[in-house]
Structure 1
């Protein structure tokens, strides 16, 4: 079987993509890789506490590897560290990198280019699936997920710290992708068919955080390499989840 590592965000798309891979049985997943903000010890963009990531991975049952980055890091720095990590995975004969991406063409192109530089290949189990149907199937399978970050330009405070269910979906504005694939919101998946047990937590405070862009921002990233933070995406609602 093909040996792979999984790019793990802790959110619903990662969880569903992992489920699909496990069902297909074409790949053997050796580890989950997650980017973590070294200053705050939280998952990049999601703002999820590292402790909850640890509990989540433990409940799923795979080895975990974390890459720690400063809150602001240039693309050059990011690419160099990622290349070193990918090269080490290649040396371990992990020839495939699995992602939960659905339809962001530029992001997929970027990923595939960087993987090819070290002889790896990207795998996208959810690619080009209808996002509304994906979310419907996700919920029908018994997965449970909560929003931990929303783009304040597109969604209000009432959408963060919400369990995703039919009511949540029905309340989304028409311009919002049901899976938040354009960066509208990020989630933490805490239960479902890939979990040995639910991850327990309490919902903490909701905070609005704004970021100031400057002339050098086009040379930096927020350690997830996605296009989530654009020139006009500078404010986000975060909901702190507290381990119990």
Structure 2
């Protein structure tokens, strides 16, 4: 069953048919969008019948580099590849910018890919309550290894674009996680969370069932800032 977080929103609650795990009626949603977890959550939500029309990428306020934002042109290309509208929001403006965006989009739900970080779920609950939308968390409280395995077996391929070198070496930059390479990663990753839930690594999805066509990486450039090492990617053009 998909995780639903819409407490206090009786007019915006999302009700699911227990026999099919699909909504009683079709609802339109927006999805937080960055790496593999968020995109897998969107994939699951769409399988459950949520129509995700809009994507939201958040620019964080912390000083260290964010691998996804350093690769924002790739995220924009991926959004076009899925025929979805991408909105980029800076959290320097606080949560109001996200609340206003959800209201402006006219969606009924926000889909997010949180797994273990309860504080982030509570933060999103507050935002969704202010915006009058439901929060859908398909991955919340699930086993992280099981999520990663299910994701890869669903056809996801995710390239590692950022590592915290306290936990994972620079040699993993550019490594693509897939059904074929999963065992290699799990056997060599050391004592880190399989999904990177503690910020050990971040990814960009280069292929999944949501894409019209795979993303082909042409080249990348490596960067280092303190203990954070990341790559900026250049991809081949996506032809219609």
Name the TM-score, length of structure 1 as normaliser: 0.76
Q: Count residues with an aligned counterpart.
A: 203
Distance 1:172 1:207 in 2: 21
Structure 1 202/169 Cα, relative in aligned 2: closer, same or farther at 3 Å?
farther
Give the C-alpha shift of residue 143 in structure 1: 1.2
Q: Which residue of 2 aligns with 1:171?
A: 188
Cα shift readout 1:200-230 (whole Å, capped 9, x = no counterpart): 22242222113xxxxxxxxxxxxxxxxxxxx
- 1:46 alignment partner, SS class: helix
Aligned to 1:32: 55
Q: What corresponds to 2:231 in structure 1?
A: 239
Equivalence for 2:202? 186
Provide the C-alpha distance between the structure 2 equivalents of 1:190 and 1:179, rounded to a whole number of angstroms: 17
Q: Determine whether 1:103 maps to 2:125.
A: no
| Deviation at residue 44 of structure 1 after TM alignment | 4.4
- TM-score, with length taken from structure 2: 0.77
| Cα drift, residue 178 of structure 1 | 0.4
| Runs of 4 or more consecutive aligned structure 1 residues displaced over 4 Å after TM superposition | none
Q: Which moved more, 1:120-129 or 1:47-56?
A: 47-56
Q: Is 2:146 the partner of 1:123?
A: no
By how many angstroms is 1:105 displaced?
Answer: 0.8
Structure 2: 5+ residue runs without aligned partners? 1-25
Compared CA separation, residues 202 and 47, structure 1 to 2 (3 A) = farther
1:70-106 CA-to-partner distances (Å, cap 9, x unmatched) read xxx65xx2223223223323xx2x1211001111111
* CA drift at 1:48: 4.2
Q: What SS does structure 2 have at the residue aligned with 1:169?
A: helix
Counterparts of 2:212 and 2:100, CA distance in 1: 33
Alignment RMSD: 2.0
Higher relative contact order (CA 8 A, sep 6+): 1
Does residue 63 (structure 1) correspond to residue 85 (structure 2)? The answer is: yes
